[in-house]
Structure 1
Amino acid sequence: MRKLFVILLALTVLACKKAPNRPVKDQKDSVSHTKVEPKDSIPIPVNKEEVLRKTNDELLQALKNKDYKKFAEFIHPEKGVRFSMYAFVDPGGDKHFSKADFEKYSSAKTIFTWGALDGSGDSYKVTINDYLQKWVFSKDFTVSQFSLNEFQKTGNSLNNVKEIYPKNDFTENYIKGTEKYGEMDWKTLRFVFEKFQGKYYLVAVVNDQWTV
């Protein structure tokens, strides 16, 4: 019996020597990792109203902060920007600046004639800086009511924005008048845009209010 046991033990040792050494497979290696290839990028549709509202709000904020360098970034690089004191746009009489001239004079003390004051008919003569602060942004339009290509309020002066800019988009920022003045002290600020090389640029700034 002892002899049989010795023989079996010898055979077992011999078998172990012949068996190839097999490394223990790491548990992480046992899981196959499939590389996920990124899908073809799908262009996200751009909502024009969202883009124009964002641009509108950035312009208002620039005016509020008196950051005219930032404001100038939105001016049309080829057509410049026109400023209309009232709803009636006068291409021949309203003050117009190229982007370069606006940047040049926005911090200068040069006086410009912007138009005639309603009622008195006197010429309104101030610097660009004063015009933007005292006329264009005479109220805090960052808290105004917004609309796109729609007039929320019109006065008794002729509003010809759509006639002068028939193919352009415009935003309107409207501040309701107060009860104290029978809501006659309402004010509106409009920005007219034109698309150029895939981006909307400012071509006109139009103020509106009640006129006599």
Structure 2
Amino acid sequence: MKKKIIPLLAMSTVLVLSVATACKKEAGKPVPNQIDSIAQNRVDSAGTVQNNVNKEAVLKQTNDEVLKALKDKDYTTFASLIHPEKGVRFSMYAYVDVKEDKHFSKADFEKYQPTKTLFTWGAHDGSGDPYKATINDYLSKWVFSKDFTTSQYSVNKFIGGGNSLNNLKEIYPKDDFTENYIKGTEKYGNMDWKTVRFVFEEFQGKYYLVAVLNDQWTI
């Protein structure tokens, strides 16, 4: 009887040790569902970062296309970047006046751009005199009054800021915007800075212009 009991005890001891070792190996390890969840979270996070990087790259590219079109006075290309359904609004200064600022549908822009038709774009700060000009003159003399292709760039962040009210984020809370800023000169106490901002909205997988805003020091 003793010879039979000893092997049974030994087998029991081995079994207990094996189970204990297995438990130690598994201790702290997530179960398969937890592993899947952690992996998915990592993929989602990486995807979000990648999407943000791609989005910023596309916005920069589109921003540069707009600037190049303005510099070259290529208003056919500029028109192709206008939002097909919402058109584009032009604001002379940082404050967006949805009732008074000049707004064009893409079709109207293409219709009137080649003509000598005068439009009232707003009023000069200080004097209050209305600013009247053709589309071409407004774009070349006001919007692109300096070579903004050499400016400081930012996306969804303001660089320039003066004493005029800036309500861009209130009017376009869900849209992305870019800024192209040229700092002022020492001659004028750095107050002769200028900037132009473009507001973009995605439509069918592409970003289009919905607004063009200029900003500068005002009296």
Q: Structure 1 counterpart of 2:70, which letter?
A: L
Runs of 4+ in 1 over 6 A off after TM superposition: none
Q: Structure 1 counterpart of 2:211, which letter?
A: A
State the number of aligned residues.
170
> Could you state the TM-score of these two structures normalised by the residue count of structure 1?
0.79
Kindly indicate whether residue 164 of structure 2 is the aligned counterpart of residue 139 of structure 1. no
Query: In angstroms, what is the RMSD of aligned CA positions?
Result: 1.3
As a proportion of its length, which structure holds more helix? 2
Kindly indicate whether residue 85 of structure 2 is the aligned counterpart of residue 78 of structure 1. yes
Larger Rg: 1
* Matched ranges for 1:169-184 at <5 A: 169-184=176-191
Kindly indicate whether residue 91 of structure 2 is the aligned counterpart of residue 50 of structure 1. no
Give, in angstroms, the shift of residue 107 of structure 1.
1.1
Identify which of 63, 67, 83 aligns with 2:70: 63
Q: Which runs of 5+ in 1 are unaligned?
A: 1-42
Kindly indicate whether residue 110 of structure 2 is the aligned counterpart of residue 103 of structure 1. yes
Distance 2:83 2:164 in 1: 27
Distance 2:192 2:127 in 1: 18
2:200 aligned counterpart, secondary structure = strand
Identify which of 200, 209, 219 aligns with 1:193: 200
Distance 1:172 1:100 in 2: 26
Q: Which runs of 5+ in 2 are unaligned?
A: 1-46
Give, in angstroms, the shift of residue 56 of structure 1.
0.2
Give, in angstroms, the shift of residue 153 of structure 1.
1.3
1:47 aligned counterpart, secondary structure = helix
Identity of aligned residues (%): 77
Distance 2:56 2:111 in 1: 32
Give, in angstroms, the shift of residue 88 of structure 1.
0.2
